[in-house]
Structure formats: structure tokens, C-alpha cells
Amino acid sequence: MKQFLLVFLGGGIGSMLRYAISKIFNGYFQHFFLGTFLVNIIGCLLIGLVLGFSLKENLLSQNHTLLLVTGFCGGFTTFSAFAFENHSVLRDGELFHFALYTIASIAIGVLAVAIGVWLAEL
């Protein structure tokens, strides 16, 4: 139960921060969501830092990782998890799987949004 609460707490804080940043920055440019872009890049940096330090120094417990990575970064942006997964695949030299996963995730994700909007408009 404690682990669920840690994810809940981190996710709530991350989600609120994502919302605040998006509200502040998303109106600056047409067709470029600066707030969302910043959140995604910051989330990628954070997940890299947290997991990198955790692996290098073995500083974080499983509970810390659940709070910071699964909770906060997951609530802040799921793009950070996507980018870290791609980094892992590239690190393993799996260029085909990297390309497949990246292209499929983006293309099918955008298509799924379009289908959802279309279905909602029926």
C-alpha cells in the first residue's frame, strides 16, 4: 500500500506542475506547445538524472524510485519514460527496434487521437 501512495503523491505533484507550466507557456506560439515541449524535455532530463544517479551511485531505494520516477516523472510527463526506453534500446544497439518503436508510437498515437476525436464527434 505504501508503494501505491508514493506513486500517487509523486504523480499528483508532477501532474500539477505539468499543468502550471503548460498554462504559463502554451500560449506563446501557434501550433507549437512550448509548455508541453518544456515539460517533456525537462521530464526526460529528470528521469535520466534520477535513474542515472541511482544506477551509478546506488543512492535510491525502490521507494525513492517509485516516488520520483514512476510517480513524479510519470505524472509530469509520460514522454520521459518513452525517451528513456528509447535510450535503453539505442544503448543496446537495436537500431531497428528503436526506429520501429519510435515511429509506431508517434504515428499510432497521433492516429489514435484522431480516431478518438472522430468517434467522439459521431
Which residues are known binding-site members for Na(+)?
Answer: 74, 77
Burial readout 104-119 (b: 16 or more C-beta within 10 A, e: otherwise): eeeeeeeeeeeeeeee
**8 A C-beta contact, residue 39 and residue 77:** yes
73 alpha carbon, distance to own chain's centre: 6
Cβ(64)–Cβ(7) below 8 Å: no
Q: Which residues are annotated as a binding site?
A: 74, 77
Q: Which of 22, 62, 26 is nearest to 43 (CA)?
A: 22
